[in-house]
Structure 1
């Protein structure tokens, strides 16, 4: 099923002509997919992170279009304007982490049906980095990949690691898998954190821009993950850290002030991936594509340079 979906263009910073459609997966979940940039040199498949939504990637789409690339992005199941999976829509949930691959299939089918130009490339952030690596393992046909702060494991304080392994399976046995992960808020982080001191970006203006999206469109907001989501994410990351890595060029951007995903796992994955390069950004936080202009400019330039080197034009 497809049909026009809402896209808050004026607040997104996306280039003119950006828009979105609904698309339903074989398991019945309605997703929102957006073609946010139009170019002729190739197409970037954008895999956002947990809690994110299409409008956050408007400025990235603008830069890619200026460089000659199309871009298509997605609201994953359970977030953005895609179907929420629980009666409590504030909680981030997934039945199985592998379910996201049905969303990937919907995205690539839409890109093909829309006639978006090849070659295709991958841009994956945070949770999208785990989904993206699974998709590459399954044969996603892209020429090169860029990852920003990929969730190849979550950051867990050493003293909490035993509990992090024990609590989710116990919650499953007790039927508590729909509960919020203990210690996490039921309110969206962006609506609570200090713009001048947050985990996402050092650019307070960009953080306020995030906040304006959620205040103007509260249906975009997402808060804590469920115990099931956390258990599935941990299991997926454990497997990805043992699995063979794809034979394609990749560039991984990591901020020096990253506190959300495991920097140790990122470095370990890059070290065993012959085609991958790690680019570390001094003072960068989690959202390196949405940092202050000097840092953000490094990421945009590095991403476009990689795609240019492999676009075959």
Structure 2
């Protein structure tokens, strides 16, 4: 049974139609699902799967653009993010027990969409970690007509030395009861509050960065800090597993930033070279969050996504 959940309308800048609901997953985790309905003639519903910092309000402005162009949006706070249940005693920790647990959150998102009878067809927009979760969901028959991925986390960017160390350290943490500890060099600090705009690795868009900083100051309970060793091991394992699986036969368009410091662009290129009906764009001089980049850098990524969805509706 769906219950109304808290939604921070004052910081989201989203459509006035916004609502949030509590859903309970199959393993009894309470997650928050956000719905941004469109008031125009409906073209369908976008299942918006955000990255490791994501929560409903973070992409309120993006959801407004979706709504203005005829798309309702359904978004979820993944477990350990936003207002959803946290998986570690430290609420700031980006923690997960198994990467496959995210698919239970996907199931809760779909259940909410179906119960609310949001307009079909469904489309997927996956951002960073959300693209990794979304690809797995598509392989498990997520009912979408087409997908758009933004800087998909199909590989994590690391130096050779970091990669050599990451596997044994994160694996060993599982065996000695330290998997809930932060990855070395990470902490519970909120990224946007501790990183000046000039040094950030997300976007060149100062207005968008200020928007996220304002959200973090006004609603710190929505934020998380760095990933845990368990998250790292599970994420590396999932990226490796997905790398050996053929792409689903669903139309896909993917964008990534030339200056991305978080995901491995070479993994994205390899995937997209073999994707049936796949389109790929490397955005010159763009950072990680291509969807919120300045127009001078990112161009009209939104417009390209809408056109792609319109051309690939069954």
Bucket of the pairwise TM-score, normalised by the shorter protein: over 0.9
Shift of 1:23: 0.7
User: Taking structure 2 as the reference length, what is the TM-score of the superposition?
Assistant: 0.96
What residue in structure 2 maps to residue 25 of structure 1?
A: 25
C-alpha distance in 2 between matches for 1:297 and 1:65: 20
Q: Which residues of 2 match residues 110-189 of structure 1 at below 5 A?
A: 110-189=112-191
Q: Which 4+ runs in 1 deviate beyond 3 A?
A: 293-297
C-alpha distance in 2 between matches for 1:94 and 1:46: 20
C-alpha distance in 2 between matches for 1:115 and 1:135: 20
C-alpha distance in 2 between matches for 1:115 and 1:176: 43
C-alpha distance in 1 between matches for 2:288 and 2:297: 12
Counterpart contact for 2:50–2:129, Cα < 8 Å: yes
Q: Helix, strand or coil: the match of 1:21?
A: strand
Counterpart contact for 1:37–1:62, Cα < 8 Å: no
What residue in structure 2 maps to residue 55 of structure 1?
A: 57
Q: Mean Cα displacement is larger for which, 84-93 or 293-302?
A: 293-302
Counterpart contact for 2:283–2:298, Cα < 8 Å: no
Q: Mean Cα displacement is larger for which, 236-245 or 184-193?
A: 184-193
C-alpha distance in 1 between matches for 2:15 and 2:169: 45
C-alpha distance in 1 between matches for 2:19 and 2:83: 13
Residue from 226, 232, 248 that aligns with 2:250: 248
Counterpart contact for 1:19–1:34, Cα < 8 Å: yes
Counterpart contact for 1:32–1:82, Cα < 8 Å: yes
Shift of 1:296: 5.0
What residue in structure 1 maps to residue 6 of structure 2?
A: 6
What residue in structure 2 maps to residue 197 of structure 1?
A: 199
C-alpha distance in 2 between matches for 1:46 and 1:217: 21
C-alpha distance in 2 between matches for 1:162 and 1:257: 23
CA offsets per residue over residues 193-222 of structure 1, 9 Å max, x none?
111221011112211110111110110110
C-alpha distance in 1 between matches for 2:89 and 2:67: 38
Counterpart contact for 1:34–1:73, Cα < 8 Å: yes
Supply the RMSD in Å over aligned alpha carbons: 1.2
Q: Mean Cα displacement is larger for which, 58-67 or 46-55?
A: 58-67
C-alpha distance in 2 between matches for 1:188 and 1:228: 19
User: Taking structure 1 as the reference length, what is the TM-score of the superposition?
Assistant: 0.97
Q: Helix, strand or coil: the match of 1:97?
A: coil
What residue in structure 2 maps to residue 293 of structure 1?
A: 295
Q: Say if 1:193 and 1:180 are closer, same or farther in 2 by CA, change over 3 A.
A: same
C-alpha distance in 2 between matches for 1:95 and 1:111: 26
Structure 2: runs of 5+ lacking an equivalent: none
Residue from 210, 213, 216 that aligns with 2:215: 213
